[in-house]
Structure 1
């Protein structure tokens, strides 16, 4: 039997057990109520609208003169290896026969010991005099026997023998004269003469050395004019009128220094002929341009040296009624972006190039609509109809390269 003291303890234990779940539920409901309340956030700002910006140039039709660029090396039109026609010791060398020295036609470049050849000339003269004396005697004998044969003082056989002796003497004179001519020619050949106005490229002999017909004395080249062998591709030939025959008019060419791109030196040349065959490897046609007075001896112009690389600009035909697009504004060889003048919206366009060079891409006038500008700023996103803002500033094709970086940043904004 429970005591009175145990009864209140049981009641308290029962109440504690009943209130604990209720307290847990109440705490969970309060936490849920607090966490489920919406947190007020500031309203999102409206996204800033960015407008494409670009520079533009006009696309008016023009007449565009073609200038073909090609590269070559200057070469001498006449290069000669000097050799001696007689054998002997070199006894004199002219100051003009030094590497790089100039000389004129018929200048004596060097002399070979001529004593043996003077002796040979003197002997040949003596033999010629002896042959002439023998001929005079033979003629006298023949004439006397011709007078005596009519009186039967001599036989006909003696006359014939006298005539044969005279003919033999005549042949002896001719032979002696030939020997003299050869001796005199060899004597002249002891003096090596310049065959033209030129310059010494190399020297292979000096004072006291033995000159021989098999050993070269040196190499020289002419300086009256030089030549440049210009390769012209099949594509370039479509826009050039090159001389094919000797009476065809020459084509103007401007040459620039191919070594120093910063040099402003220029030389005028003219294409005077073309080679008759195509290069077997490249299928290029070589046009021969001539440069008069390449070393400036008469004109005073800067010298154009043999072996110097040059860049040639050849005057071609004139393309009529075409549009010249700045090369920097043409993407992927045939893609341009136009801007309609009426509403200043983009008009991407595909074009076909008639001609292109380092500065321009030339297209037919019909391929570009009227009343438009050409966008020159590099644009990544160019959907048709997109409005653009025109950037004020330089609009020439020369300014495109200088402003490309700035324009790209402007287009991104």
Structure 2
């Protein structure tokens, strides 16, 4: 039996769940998620120094990061297919190399076009090939179904801790060494990822006769099944909103805080606090999603975001209100990921989870592209972020509604039992 045999293998089969190094898989996967997510989550801190040094508008920098989010999303299904076919470790190593090259090139660019290539295309594809979504897919085949939701929460929390760690680290590097040297140092840190990814080697395979495995599928059949399932389509629409929220806030909250008349340091603190609070939010989401309805949990998260944004716009701008908003949003930040990935695993099983989550994540990144780009575009046109904040409220309410009809149940293929 392959080392990559899923945890759903029949009793006695040597699957990941039976291996003594499952703790190593979780630990290294969490470090990959932390480093893979950390540097790109701190890039909003480079908006002010880079635009001032190059005499660029905010829209130029925003468009570069919008392209990054779009390429991350477009590359995610491809990365998932490659990981499902050739293994997670190889895919992550490729991503880390491209990610590193993008950060190095970003430090040297002097034209918007090269910024779009480095910060946009290269970093976006690099993150796609070494992001936490591949880590979650590895976790999905490594633990028993009963533990998947919690494992997804742990992996997501690790990515959030990367944001918490790299936001103050990025600001400290900028203050201490300048923005160019800061990018070089972040690039050096990403080179740790290929070595950590070795523990995640392996790929998902079909195990005939395993409970809930159903009939084996080709990738084409799996995609047709998913896109023919209403719950999967609704989940894709809802994740679009998540991307819109988190990308806009990650990039534009720091300059927005400066626009409110507060010191720039509060922006880095707010981004760090979001990451810190989401460590607990992701863990709580993973725990709750393993015991209660995942669609209802997602609806509550998006409704909470809409309320938090509305209140933030109505109260006076002070360090306290900024940090309160950051804390609340942090708790709701990537807490959408465990129930979203968990629903995919429940509906379709772990066989093609990396690929299917990749397509849902592509929708997330389309939302991220629009959130980042429209934030810069509307600010340059109106001198205010108000319109994009109102859009965030409306989209949060939309997402709260769209998750309610999703059924948390396996597709008929899995319910039919093992193939003969």
TM-score range, shorter chain: under 0.3
- Greater strand share, structure number: 1
Q: TM-score, normalised by structure 1?
A: 0.17
Q: Which has the higher contact order (CA 8 A, sep 6+)?
A: 2
**Max radius of gyration: which structure?**
1
Q: TM-score, normalised by structure 2?
A: 0.17
